[in-house]
Amino acid sequence: MPFQPEPAYTHGQAPRTAILLCNLGTPDAPTAPALRRYLGQFLSDQRVVEIPKPLWWLILHGIILRTRPAKSAAKYASIWTPEGSPLAVWTSKQATLLRGWLGEAGHQVLVRHAMRYGNPSIASQLDALKAEGATRILILPLYPQYSGTTTASVFDAVYTWAARTRNVPELRFVNHYHDDPGYINALAATIQTHWKHHGPPDKLVMSFHGVPERTLHLGDPYHCESHKTARLLAQRLGLQKDDYQVTFQSRFGKAKWLQPYTEPTLIEMGQAGVGRVDVICPGFTGDCLETLEEINQEAREAFLHAGGKEFHYIPCLNDSNLWITALSRIAQQHLGGWPTQLPDAAALADAQAHARAGGAPAGACPVAH
């Protein structure tokens, strides 16, 4: 595999520590062509669709990418904001706030965000960090619960970039933080704030993104980690087992996925006389299509049509102070042992002078001259 050109580098440049926040991705616009590009990349990932590649290629390009982009574009258009895709907006804000929180804690680190699918890509942001002098990079996925379909796919993209890079920075990866106390407290505070203004519901539904059931039997910990998040959150809220329900949404295709499914469960609740449900999506750290359209529009309509009286969607963590505080602490735990201060100005000037005095050619180490 050929190496890609290295970003421009100046000898004597200060080595930096960096964090790359990674999220799933979003199309560039709520249009059919943009959705076709995005879905083509997303659904071509064999971590996402584990069907033999030749067969899936025919299905994807012969059916799905001919019919689904226009339908998905209409859904995205219903939640698009003047700033763009909600997921892109929240992810960017989280990166900016994380940089500020870490700076206040005394850590002068570079922070960028990237999307596994769409823009900005993981490879482009790693290139940018390397060009800024990053020699140590922490990869921090915005997925609290580990799944091969999400977290591992982010790692794949990083490994692919590294395989084409000659001078690879030190890399660390955050696998999960589904049971992190700060994350749980941030979720609880979001719910408690909602209940303070609206009172408690008849039932709290915690809806997680679904994955095929076979992934559970193959060893993926996502199902267990989702349930642990729900249990810890319920304990933090003082709920009894009958007060809440864990469900899984976003089923795709005909295979059996993790159950119970969110929308059918809400329909059953409406038919059974449950008057009010509140729905929160703990696995999503920022609001996106799956929360704003699938839950707050489609699931709401299904519940009310089935006889439910009141449906409340509780927003994701987004830019809440408790969440950014938790995220900064998670980052600091995984940065342990790495220098996070800029080098002394005098030492940096000396290194730059040494490089100039050595007359080193481009790409050569000044220490050897």
Long-range contacts from 340-343, C-beta under 8 angstroms, 24+ separation: 340/17, 340/102, 340/106, 340/107, 340/108, 340/109, 341/106, 341/107, 341/108, 342/14, 342/16, 342/108, 343/14, 343/15
**What is the number of residues in the chain?**
369
Taking each helix axis as running N to C, give the angle between helix 65-79 and helix 32-42, from 0 to 180 degrees, rounded to the nearest 10: 110
Is 209 labeled as ligand-binding? yes
Nearest to 91 by CA among 18, 21, 176: 21
Residue 294, number of CB atoms within 10 A of its CB: 21
Say which residues have a Cβ less than 8 Å from residue 53's Cβ, sequence separation at least 6: 46
Report CA-CA distances (Å) from 184 to 204, 322, 365: 16, 10, 48
Q: Which residue matches tokens 């290295």?
A: 6
CB of 138 within 8 A of CB of 103? no
Is 290 labeled as ligand-binding? yes
Nearest to 205 by CA among 230, 222, 238: 230
Nearest to 150 by CA among 115, 181, 118, 119: 115
Helix (H, G, I), strand (E, B) or coil at 228: helix
d(Cα 18, Cα 16) in Å, to the nearest integer?
6
d(Cα 95, Cα 23) in Å, to the nearest integer?
11
CA 196 to chain centroid = 29
CB of 311 within 8 A of CB of 300? yes
Nearest to 13 by CA among 358, 368, 357, 366: 366
Per the annotation, binding residues for Fe(2+) are 209, 290
Per the annotation, binding residues are 209, 290
